[in-house]
Structure 1
C-alpha cells in the first residue's frame, strides 16, 4: 500500500449473465491520494466487469509497467490489459503488444478520451475497446463510497445494475471502437 493511501473494502456479489460469471468476493482497494473517487469507482467496476481467474489490481497509478487492472494466466502471461480513465496512446500501444486483449473503462466523455489517440501508432487498435457509462452514473456511485462497502453488480444485455451500500443505480455499458 502506498504511503497516504486510504483503504476501502468492497464485499461484492457479481452476476454477469452476459458472460456467465457468478462470484462473491471481497476487494481491498488502496486509493492513492491522487486518485479521485470517480477513478476508484471505475477501477472497481472494471474489476467486476472483467472478473476472471487471475484478475488483480496492477500498479497502474505508480507504475508504467502495469495497467490499473490486469488478468494473468497461470503461467504469468498477460491475458487482459485494462486501463482506467484516459491513458495515452503510448500506454495503449504498450499494453496491446503485451496482452491478448486491451480495454479501457472511462468515467469521462469517451469522445474526448479517444480524440488524442487519432493518428497515433497503437498496436492492434482495431481490437481495443473503450467502455463508458451513462452520464452522471459514476459520480452518483462515487458519492456513495464509504470505507467499507457492499456492492451487487448485475449485468444483463449490456446494462449494469449496481446496488452500492443500499442504493440502486443503473447504466448502460457503452462500447466504443478505436479502429
Structure 2
C-alpha cells in the first residue's frame, strides 16, 4: 500500500519591503512521505520570496515535483498556461537546470543542503548559457532552523528587508540570508 501525503496548512503573512509585496496567503501543502520538515519549510519560504504582487498574470503554485519528475517544486503559469517561472528546490542535475531554463521565461533554484558548494562546483560551468536562471543558496544551518517552525497548522510571518529574511511563528524567529550563486539581479 502506497503512503499518502500529509496535508499541512500555513497562513503566511508576507511583508517583502524589497519588492513592495505585502499579502496574506493561505497555503495547503501536500507533504510527500519522503519529504523532510526542512525541505517543506524551504518550499514555503521560496513561495513567499517569489509570490507575485497579484495574480493578474497567473498564481504561483506548489507543483508535484516529489510525485512527478516532470514538474518543479513551484511554478507560475500565465492565464493561457504558458510557464512564467519554474522553481526547483534542491540540487537538480545539469540537464534539469537547462531543461527548466528552456521551459519558462524565468527559472530559479534554491539549494539548502550542506553539500551545495560541492554540487554547484560540478554544474556551474555547464549551465552558463542559461541566461534566465537564478541559483540561490540557503545556508544549511538556517534551513535546519526553519524546520523547527514546522507544524501541521502554521501561522508564519515572513519579512524581507535589505536582502535579509525573517520567518517567525509568533514564538520563534529564524533569520535567513540568501546567497546568490548564479544569475541576474532579479529574484
TM-score (ref. length: structure 1): 0.90
In the alignment, does 2:84 pair up with 1:79? Answer: yes
In the alignment, does 2:20 pair up with 1:20? Answer: yes
Alignment map for 1:114-133 (pairs within 5 Å): 114-120=120-126, 122=127, 124-133=129-138
Distance apart, 1:113 and its partner CA: 2.9
* 8 Å CA contact 1:97, 1:123 repeated in 2: no
In the alignment, does 2:111 pair up with 1:111? Answer: no
* 8 Å CA contact 1:70, 1:81 repeated in 2: yes
1:165/1:90 CA distance change after superposition, 3 Å: farther
* 8 Å CA contact 2:42, 2:146 repeated in 1: no
* 8 Å CA contact 1:158, 1:173 repeated in 2: yes
Number of residue pairs aligned between Structure 1 and Structure 2: 177
Q: Distance in 1 between matches of 2:31 and 2:82?
A: 26
* 8 Å CA contact 2:105, 2:132 repeated in 1: no
* 8 Å CA contact 1:93, 1:123 repeated in 2: no
Q: Distance in 2 between matches of 1:55 and 1:4?
A: 24
Extract structure 1 runs of 4+ deviating beyond 4 A.
none
1:143/1:81 CA distance change after superposition, 3 Å: same
1:38-86 per-position Cα deviation (integer Å, ceiling 9, x unaligned): 1111111111100023100111111122100001111111111100011
User: Structure 2: 5+ residue runs without aligned partners?
Assistant: none
Distance apart, 1:132 and its partner CA: 2.0
Q: Distance in 2 between matches of 1:116 and 1:84?
A: 17
Of the candidates 133, 142, 150, which is equivalent to residue 137 of structure 1? 142
* 8 Å CA contact 1:161, 1:168 repeated in 2: yes
Alignment map for 1:1-179 (pairs within 5 Å): 3-52=3-52, 53=55, 54-109=59-114, 110-120=116-126, 122=127, 124-177=129-182
